[in-house]
């Protein structure tokens, strides 16, 4: 199963991707996570990407396209994959189509998680992430059992550099302008599914899961 998770920042793409990984055993490919890892390691890619990320802007297409091309060629993607945060522009979607064509594969479903702007700001400002295992929490909606510590591994929780309100609003603006048009792009090929992302994490997952059962 080859999936794309679409939706504004804070819609719950990462949260749902992890639940799909657990149930279906296909890998999550998050361009945001890959870029943040490069930033943390202080590589050349990381230094370049950080400037864009801190402003809430998109990293140049050719950079992320290269990352995804290399990741999709790895053996664990043979059984399928979940793209989380890619594609984000029409150029990226076209490049992905070319890559998949070359591989003789196609996208089975694009799941667009719909959440309005005000809810997004609330979710992101209260988001905390485990430094060690990447588990995602929310101080209001999905708090850890012990303050500042991950339930799963005891790791320390941190807040992303781009999770400040003014940067979140810019990321949302960029989403509306550059990424939302992709819904039309995928609607045309009949693979787009829209999901109400304002419901609880479990309810959203059940809705996604019923789509996945239908298509698999
Ligand atoms: P990226 O890391 O992809 O960030 P994003 O798209 O802004 O998405 P988020 O990770 O913020 O949100 P999410 O939808 O995964 O939500 P989550 O599950 O965490 O990108 C960051 C930056 O990298 C970009 O700005 C750009 O610069 C660069 N970049 C990345 N990919 C790129 C690309 N392809 N091209 C160019 N540049 C790229 O949930 C959010 C919070 O809400 C959490 O606290 C969670 O616990 C909570 N929550 C989740 N679901 C629910 C629910 N149903 N109810 C209540 N709370 C919920
Ligand atoms: Zn953890």
Q: How many Å lie between the centroid of ligand 1 and the Cα of residue 216? A: 26
Q: How many Å lie between the centroid of ligand 2 and the Cα of residue 208? A: 24
Tell me: the pLDDT tens digits for 179-216?
999 999 999 999 999 999 999 999 999 999 999 999 98
Measuring from each residue's beta carbon to the nearest atom of ligand 1, which residues come in under 6 Å?
7, 9-15, 31-32, 35, 52-53, 56-59, 64, 85-86, 88, 92, 123-124, 127, 136-138, 141-142, 171, 197, 200-201, 204
Alpha-carbon distances of 86 from 14, 48, 66, 214, rounded to whole Å = 12, 18, 12, 23
Do the Cβ atoms of 182 and 92 come closer than 8 Å?
A: no
Q: Which residue out of 4, 123, 167, 199 has the highest number of ligand 1 atoms within 8 Å of its CB and is therefore the one to mutate?
A: 123
> Per this entry, what is the length of the chain?
216
Task: Return the active site residues.
Answer: 13, 88, 127, 160, 171
Tell me: the pLDDT tens digits for 138-156?
999 999 999 999 999 999 9
pLDDT for res 216: 84
Tell me how far apart the alpha carbons of residues 128 and 147 are, in angstroms, rounded to a whole number: 11
What are the domain boundaries of the chain? Answer: 2-116+177-215
Do the Cβ atoms of 12 and 137 come closer than 8 Å?
A: no
Arch. (CATH architecture) of 2-116+177-215: 3-Layer(aba) Sandwich (3.40)
Residue 157: is it exposed, middle or buried by C-beta count within 10 angstroms (0-12/13-18/19+)? buried
Is pTM beyond 0.80 here?
yes
Question: In the chain, count of helices (H) and strands (E)?
Answer: 9, 8
- What confidence category does residue 14 fall into, taking pLDDT thresholds of 50, 70 and 90? very high
């Amino acid at each position: 199963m080859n999936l794309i998770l679409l939706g504004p920042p804070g819609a719950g793409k990462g949260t749902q991707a992890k639940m799909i990984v657990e149930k279906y055993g296909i890998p999550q490919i998050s361009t945001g996570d890959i870029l943040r890892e490069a930033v943390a390691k202080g590589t050349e890619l990381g230094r370049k990407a950080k400037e864009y990320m801190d402003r809430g802007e998109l990293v140049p297409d050719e950079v992320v396209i290269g990352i995804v091309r290399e990741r999709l060629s790895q053996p664990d993607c043979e059984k399928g994959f979940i793209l989380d945060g890619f594609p984000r522009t029409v150029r990226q979607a076209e490049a992905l189509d070319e890559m998949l064509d070359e591989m003789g594969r196609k996208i089975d479903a694009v799941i667009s998680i719909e959440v309005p702007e005000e809810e997004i700001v609330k979710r992101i400002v209260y988001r905390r992430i485990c430094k060690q295992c990447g588990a995602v929490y929310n101080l209001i909606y999905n708090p850890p059992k012990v303050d500042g510590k991950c339930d799963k591994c005891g790791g320390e929780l941190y807040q992303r550099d781009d999770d400040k309100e003014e940067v979140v609003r810019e990321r949302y603006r960029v989403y509306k302008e550059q990424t939302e048009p992709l819904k039309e792009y995928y609607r045309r090929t009949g693979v787009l599914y829209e999901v109400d992302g304002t419901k609880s994490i479990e309810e959203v997952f059940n809705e996604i899961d019923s789509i996945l059962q239908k298509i698999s």
